[in-house]
Amino acid sequence: MSQLLISGVKPTSRLTIGNYIGALMQWKRLQHEYRCRFFVADLHAITVPQDPDQLRALSIEVVASYIAIGLDPRLVSFFIQSEVPEHAELEWILCTIARLNEMERMTQFKDKSQKGGRDEAGMGLLSYPILMAADILLYDADVVPVGEDQVQHLELTRDLGRRFNERFGETFRLPKPLLQSTGARVMSLADPEKKMSKSDPSQYGTIFLTDSDDDIRKKIKRAVTDLDGTIHFDEETKPAVSNLLTIFHHMTGESIESLETRFAGQGYGAFKDQLAEAIITHLSSIRARLLELLADPAPIHTLLDQGRDEAQRAAREKIQLVKRRVGLGR
């Protein structure tokens, strides 16, 4: 396991089954194939206003979630992004070689600035992908697990790394993407055209890892479907049902083809009832472990101290090389 993998999650809310299926389940498998560093992306979180106390609490909850879903502290390390200041230092250096037009082309900036008004968009939103690039290049990561909506950001990371290397000499390793196909994007239960989000305005659009059994049943019961009543996977013509089939597949391991056969002619009621129970069965031990960890977070703080120290040793060495290449300092 010589190759390094790095990834992180923003602590903007409790984690969802979208995070779990789209990223964490993949991480659980990848921890046996790569050296892994998983961080809490709290600097990314503050591109929008956050309650300080809640942000700190959620940072700990994210790490508790990492452990609860099966990431093994004996195999991987965890740290909080802001506790390694070299992330922000490298971001600024990369900002000096990034181009305004390529930043304005980033899908996330275009989408969010259009929603909130371009004149009100903050600089943090514009430079967000550069910080993401710094997160990766700082450690010479070999691979980065990404969903389809993040491929553009990783391409920017490679572009910035290549640009720096060409201008200042070989410095950064250019990472490769690890794409997950089925389930890379779990969609909102309330609107299958939108990705399931921790900030979904509908209280029924998202299932959190800490949701009670009753909450899960209510949300699945209210999940949108369509009018034809058939259990069939087709993302173009039946996006809502396809999304539910994807969730069912990941909760049970049963193939989508088998699920289609099993529920043929049964209608959405029976399908939703069994889907809800499958989610409850799968998440029950994760939820119990998560609540146990949060009741006594001292071991989590110890792991974060160790992960921070390990990350900072690597980050400090890299940033010193970068500054020598650029001509910074004495």
Alpha carbon distance 223, 80 (integer Å): 35
Please pick, among 28, 110, 115, 198, the residue that the annotation labels catalytic. Answer: 198
User: In sequence order, which residues have a C-beta less than 8 Å from that of residue 34 and are 6 or more positions away?
Assistant: 1, 3, 4, 5, 142, 143
Query: What dihedral do alpha carbons 232, 234, 235, 236 form, nearest 10°?
Result: -130
Please pick, among 10, 28, 110, 112, the residue that the annotation labels catalytic. Answer: 112
State the Cα angle at 178 between 172 and 19, rounded to 5°: 115
* CA-to-CA separations, 43 to 80, 138, 309, in angstroms, rounded: 9, 15, 18
Of 191, 303, 314, 308, the residue nearest 243 (C-alpha):
191
Determine whether 238 is an active site residue: no
Q: What is the CA radius of gyration of the chain?
A: 21
Question: Where do the DSSP E strands lie in 155-269?
Answer: 176-179
Please pick, among 194, 195, 221, 323, the residue that the annotation labels catalytic. Answer: 195
Determine whether 272 is an active site residue: no
Q: Encoding tokens for residue 267? A: 């209608």
Can you tell me which residue has the tokens 């602590």?
11
Alpha carbon distance 79, 88 (integer Å): 15
Determine whether 221 is an active site residue: no
Q: Encoding tokens for residue 7? A: 């990834």
Query: Are the C-beta atoms of residues 34 and 139 closer than 8 Å to each other?
Result: no
Q: Rounded to 5 degrees, what are φ and ψ at 73? A: -60, -15
User: In sequence order, which residues have a C-beta less than 8 Å from that of residue 259 and are 6 or more positions away?
Assistant: 231, 245, 248, 249
Longest dimension (CA), the chain: 74
Residues involved in catalysis: 112, 195, 198
